[in-house]
Amino acid sequence: MGQGFFLLFAAVSVITALMVVLARNPIHSALALMACFLQISAIFVLLGAPLLAVIQIFVYVGAIMVLFLFVIMMIDVREAVLQRFVPGGNLPALVLLGLLGIEMLALVLWSDRFSVTEPVAASGGDEIRQLGTTLFADYLLPFEVASVILLAALVGAIVLARRESG
Amino acid sequence: MVPLSWYILLGVVLFVIGAAGVLLRRNILVVLMSLELLLNSVNINFIAFGHYHGDLRGRIFAIFVIAITAAEVAVALGILVALVRNKSTLKVDDVTMMKG
């Protein structure tokens, strides 16, 4: 049952990711990206991380994609580039991508380190409690650094988006 | 159950698609969205490894990636709005102000 669900979510997420790259209109790209994020959050649930799935939906689908749609509607897309996507436009980059994909696929498929099928039994107890304890005890410094980075990004975004008033 | 390699392969496929969007598209908005796709494929790998090896650190780092992505998108869209206001273009090839 898990395999069927995984194949379904993986197929839909790959198709929507292709639509993100291939779509002509940026709004179509944004909506396809939203669908892709929803599939990825479903995959997080399959991986036994429901908290991460909720965070994914809140942050990505709820905040980041709405921000993207706002910006797309704010700037005029009609006069912007609505050019059709030509895959052969940049041949060296295409060849490089093909080599990268083949290399990574070969490395994953040939190695036997990724053939684990059963997850290690997690130690008992509340999962979110363990996650919080690890985050705020062992990773306190990175957490504080991330909060400072978020503050700097907030100030930077306000300064950048403000109209110059002399 | 689903083997670990399937999740890794899904991460590989999404990564290559996102890299194709970054390298081949000429629209800044689509390039930014493809960047989000790249970060999400990395998140899938983090959480898959953490799940199969019984380790919470994968989830911790996925949380950090999500938080930093939010900051990055806010700054990038601010830069984008300022750019469109000044140069009124959305093509990456036209933005050569930083070229030496």
Tens of pLDDT, residues A121-135: 666 667 788 888 989
CA distance linking residue A82 with residue A96, whole number of Å: 26
What lies within 8 Å, CB to CB, of A13 at 6+ separation is A36, A39, A40, A43, B10, B14
pLDDT score of B83 more than 80: yes
A 3-42: CB under 8 A from B: 3, 6, 10, 13-14, 17-18, 20-21, 23, 26, 29-30, 33, 36-37, 40
ipTM: 0.90
- pLDDT at residue number A91: 85
* Sequence letter at residue B57: R
* Sequence letter at residue A76: D
Confidence of residue B27 (pLDDT cuts 50, 70, 90): confident
pLDDT tens, residue by residue, A139-160: 999 999 999 999 999 998 888 8
CB of A134 less than 8 A from some CB of B? yes
- pLDDT at residue number B87: 77
pLDDT score of B82 more than 70: yes
Q: Is the CB of A93 less than 8 angstroms away from the CB of B23?
A: yes
Confidence of residue B91 (pLDDT cuts 50, 70, 90): confident
CA-wise closest residue to A131 among A63, A51, A59, A72: A51
> Any idea which fold A1-79 has?
Four Helix Bundle (Hemerythrin (Met), subunit A) (1.20.120)
pLDDT tens, residue by residue, A69-86: 888 888 866 655 555 556
What is the CATH code of the structural domain delimited by B26-91?
1.10.287.3510
Of B23, B48, B73, the CB nearest to A64: B73
- pLDDT at residue number A73: 86
pLDDT score of B32 more than 70: yes
- pLDDT at residue number B86: 80
Confidence of residue B37 (pLDDT cuts 50, 70, 90): very high
Chain B residues near residue A155 by CB distance under 8 angstroms: none
pLDDT tens, residue by residue, A9-60: 999 999 999 999 988 888 899 999 999 999 999 999 998 888 999 999 999 9
Chain B residues near residue A109 by CB distance under 8 angstroms: 5, 9
Phi-psi region of B17 (alpha: psi -120 to 50; beta: other; left: phi over 0): alpha
Q: Dig out the tokens for A73 from the structure.
A: 């509607």
Full-model pTM:
0.89
* Sequence letter at residue A114: F
Q: Dig out the tokens for B80 from the structure.
A: 């984008």
The residues spanned by each domain of chain A are: 1-79, 130-165
Give yes or no for a contact between A14 and B14, defined as CB atoms under 8 angstroms apart.
Answer: yes
Confidence of residue A88 (pLDDT cuts 50, 70, 90): low
CA distance linking residue A84 with residue A77, whole number of Å: 14
- pLDDT at residue number B61: 93
Residue the block writes with tokens 């749609």: A69
Of A17, A52, A139, the CB nearest to B47: A52
CA distance linking residue B67 with residue A156, whole number of Å: 16
Write the DSSP assignment of B20-49 as a string of letters: HHHHH--BHHHHHHHHHHHHHHHHHHHHHH
CB of B14 less than 8 A from some CB of A? yes
